[in-house]
Structure 1
């Protein structure tokens, strides 16, 4: 079945997460709001140019203030420690409110 739906692009403003995606072809990322999933493309900023194609899948809701909930995904986040990841979440979102984790995989062109 090839029922593929293209969804809105995903932004990777954080350099560490972006590097993880580019170098390893996948990243686990936090988003405050629930977003669409499926095939899309990614960019570095909200109005930036397309950097590559990807697929977004939701892993589920998470409390980013809870280190134990982030630890299983820390390696694929690209961050050296959960604390570093939490600092980036705080910097990008302003607080540590609940949100969602997504796994993003790049597509081979």
Structure 2
């Protein structure tokens, strides 16, 4: 599968857009991973699972938001995208304050 987005600016824009959707609660971690794997990296599940160091089944489960992946597995699958698993506030107001930088 060839990547649809080729330039570094396009890849970064796609990454940021997916993260915005996630932070607004409009998508899930699994959908973000699937979209970025396919559209930004242009990799199959098998190739990406090998790159991330997880089984294809684990990757598939995470992309479908199924199962109960460990934090270590989640961190491994997001690492090739330059992301790490972390903590964010559940309350939209606190999240907005955090993102805007007004909480410091």
Q: Which has the higher contact order (CA 8 A, sep 6+)?
A: 1
TM-score by length of 2: 0.29
**Relative to total residues, which structure has the larger helix share, 1 or 2?**
2
TM-score by length of 1: 0.28
**Relative to total residues, which structure has the larger strand share, 1 or 2?**
1
